[in-house]
Amino acid sequence: MKTINWKKEAIAYFYLIFGSLLFAIGDILFVNPYILAPGGTYGLSNVLNTVWPWKVSLYAICMDIPLLIIGTLILGPKFGFKTIVSTLLIFGFTYLIETFIGYAPIVHNGIIENPAIINPEWLQIPHSEGVYFIPDYFLNTLVSGGIYGLAIGLIFKSGATSGGSDIISMILHKFTKISLGTLVMIVDSIITLTTLIAEPQLRLPVYSILVIVIEGWIIDLVVDGFNNNKTAFIVTDKAEEVRNYIIKDLNRGGTCLFGKGLYKGVDRMMIYVTLTRPELVKLQTALKDIDPDAFLNVVTSAQIMGKGFKPLVDKQ
């Protein structure tokens, strides 16, 4: 039997719980008051909550559970225990926040008691009878995207998935063969357009899409960290000297690839090596002395796993 790494599991569930809490906070206190719908069942629930007032959490769970069941029947058991836990945690946290705190925005430009001085009406967010918030749409969008991205990034790091409307994309992918990424964008874009049902203002889907963009960037940052790795392809007539520098001075390994030059048909050697950004700078400086005529192609590596970098398999 596989040994369970309890420390790793404890950290994973911390990410799961904290990420679910952050998601609920972001949705109820930042996204919902501005009637934004950045994809997902909770985005659609925000619109429904505005049109037909009912708790966001109840709308969402009424969609999430059937989607999980339908997804399991059509796609098989792909959603795992942690995804179910995340779905229930987000529902619970969202229900508590909207019940005991409400939908008052955190980001705004103050409160007014005479709404007649602020026109048009979309520049007012109701607070209580006769009292309104003055919204700050752009700042709220930036903060919303940051909180959503951090929340979902932590959930992903825990080993769970977002579920929700992503299941619709996965089902459509199975039958249409359209790429999953394209379908996710289509489904989320349709959900952002539902904001026009709540308020016929183009700013709502535009800000919702901006939340999705920021969210995606933050998710990548949380899951992969700051990308500091570069892959270099070096074509040189002094391959042995370059090889010695990489091994002895940079303490890195690499791979020698043999090929034939396209122009003259001469047999050449190309060195393939992955480095951190500081190591790449050192290599560039050294190449100027070793072989000024060397050809260097550098690409950014999205993810590097293996000896000297992120482990390919977590140790148990």
The predicted structure's pLDDT at residue 192 = 93
pLDDT tens, the chain, 316 aa long: 557 778 888 998 999 999 999 999 999 999 999 999 998 899 999 999 999 999 999 999 999 999 888 888 887 776 678 888 999 999 999 999 999 999 889 998 887 776 555 554 545 566 666 677 888 999 999 999 999 999 988 988 887 776 677 788 878 888 887 776 678 778 888 999 999 998 888 999 999 999 999 988 888 788 767 666 788 899 988 889 999 989 988 888 888 888 877 777 777 788 999 887 778 888 888 898 899 888 899 887 766 666 655 665 554 4
- Residue 122: its pLDDT value, please? 47
Q: What are the residue boundaries of the structural domains of the chain, listed by start?
A: 6-224, 229-300
Q: What is the 3-state secondary structure (H, E, C) of the chain?
A: CCCCCHHHHHHHHHHHHHHHHHHHHHHHHHHHHHCCCCCHHHHHHHHHHHHCCCCHHHHHHHHHHHHHHHHHHHHCCCCHHHHHHHHHHHHHHHHHHHHHCCCCCCCCCCEECCHHHCCCHHHCEEEECCEEECCCHHHHHHHHHHHHHHHHHHHHHCCCCCCCHHHHHHHHHHHHCCCHHHHHHHHHHHHHHCHHHHCCCCHHHHHHHHHHHHHHHHHHHHHHCCCCEEEEEEECCCHHHHHHHHHHHCCCCCEEEEEECCCCCCEEEEEEEEEEHHHHHHHHHHHHHHCCCCEEEEEECCCCECCCCECCCCCC
pLDDT at 61: 95
- What pLDDT score does 145 carry? 94
Residue 127: the pLDDT is 61
Q: Which CATH number does the domain 229-300 belong to among 3.40.50.1820, 1.10.275.10, 3.30.70.120, 3.40.50.970?
A: 3.30.70.120
Q: What is the pLDDT of residue 175?
A: 85
Indicate yes or no: pTM above 0.85. Answer: no
